[in-house]
Amino acid sequence: MPGTPRQIEIAPSILPADFSRLGEELQLLEKASADRIHWDVMDGTFVPNLTVGPDVVAACRAAVSLPFEAHLMVDDPDLLAPRYVAAGCELVTIHVESTRHLDRTLHGVIEAGAKAAVTLNPATPLESVDNVLHLVDMVLIMSVNPGFGGQKYIAAQEAKVRRLRRWILERELDVDIEIDGGISVRTISDATAAGANVFVAGSAVFSDPEGPEHAITALRTLAHEAQ
Ligand code: DX5
Ligand code: ZN
């Protein structure tokens, strides 16, 4: 419902997971009360790193009942998006910077049967999503330059989140704002206060000495307090 506080969701990234036992790692995250799984899909050219193909996602689909979202950091999202939908992703987010025809690429995700979202790198202006905001269920604001986990949070992105939240409210749209990169107990409160409601966390979840449940619970509590 536009205008009411949006549901807080914690979306652990698979990037720091033990790839030799990915299914079990996802089951640990499900047990730890994660709301969704954030698949960081990297093709080695859009970003200087290479991760998982659709077959890996498909192989993990039956391991948990959590929603899967694919964060496509790829040079050819028109080719790959339908493959990740078929692999079991309920939502696919497309980097503005990765396609010449963003409206068409987003329609491709919707026609493949998934929710569409759009992602902005730190240097990409919010204006680039002005004409597709009505098509998406979520906007992902990068608070790091994509390609790796464990990077420093770029607090300046909160201004972009604040403006975006205003746009969404003014247009009475039902759109989540996700923020991704450097989210931890030190940064999630400010990110929430700016207007984000879905939080990707990789290192903060996997490096917590008390385990993922402690990390996810701490993040969710801080976000609720800051909303
Ligand atoms: C970076 C990825 C992020 C990253 C988050 O390109 O999109 O999802 O894995 O990792 P942390 O939470 O450690 O910054
Ligand atoms: Zn990501």
- Torsion angle, alpha carbons of 189, 192, 197, 199, to 10: -40
38: CATH: 3.20.20.70
Q: Phi and psi dihedrals of 182, rounded to 5?
A: 75, 20
**Cα(10) to centroid(ligand 1), Å:** 13
Residue 3 domain flag: no
What is the pLDDT at residue 27? 98
**Is the confidence at residue 219, as pLDDT, over 90?**
yes
Domain membership of residue 208 (yes or no) is yes
Average pLDDT, the chain: 97
Give the number of the ligand closest to the Cα of residue 146: 1
Determine whether 35 is an active site residue: no
Residues with CB under 5 A from ligand 2 (ion): 40, 71, 180
Residue 4 lies in a domain: no
Backbone angles phi, psi at 221, to 5 degrees: -60, -45
Residue 1 — very low, low, confident or very high, per pLDDT cuts 50/70/90? low
Measured from the CB, is residue 119 less than 6 Å from ligand 1? no
Sheet with 138-142, strands from edge to edge, namely 9-12, 198-201, 176-180, 138-142, 115-120, 91-95, 68-73, 37-42
Q: Tell me if 13 CB under 6 Å of ligand 1.
A: yes
Residue 71 lies in a domain: yes
35, 40, 43, 208: the catalytic one is 40
In short, whether 203's Cβ falls inside 6 Å of ligand 1 is yes
Residues 6 or more apart from 2 whose CB is under 8 A from it? 168, 169, 172, 173, 174
How many residues make up the chain in this entry? 227
Residue 2 within a domain: no
Question: Is 40 an active-site residue?
Answer: yes
Residue 4 has pLDDT above 90, yes or no: no
Is ligand 1 within 6 A of the CB of residue 158? Answer: no
pLDDT band (50, 70, 90) for residue 2: low
Establish if 101 belongs to a structural domain.
Answer: yes
43, 176, 180, 208: the active-site residue: 180
Q: What is the mean pLDDT of residues 6-21?
A: 98
pLDDT at res. 103? 98
Residues 47-54: what's their mean pLDDT?
Answer: 98
Query: Does the residue 56 lie in any domain?
Result: yes
Q: How many domains does the chain have?
A: 1
Q: Which structural domain range is residue 168 located in?
A: 9-226
pLDDT of 3 over the 70 cut? no
- Looking at the domain assignment, is residue 190 inside a domain? yes
- Cβ–ligand 1 distance for 12 under 6 Å, the answer no
On the question of pLDDT at 127 being above 80, the answer is yes
Instruction: Output the six-digit token pair for 58.
Output: 């498909």
Q: Which ligand is nearest to the CA of 147?
A: 1
What is the Å distance from ligand 1's center to 100 Cα? 25
For 139-175, the pLDDT digits (tens) are: 999 999 999 999 999 999 999 999 999 999 999 999 9
User: With a 6 A CB cut-off, is 189 part of the ligand 1 pocket?
Assistant: no
The span from the first CA to the last CA of the chain, in angstroms, equals: 16
168 neighbors 201 (Cβ within 8 angstroms)? no
In 123-197 the beta strands, taken as DSSP E runs, fall at 138-142, 176-180
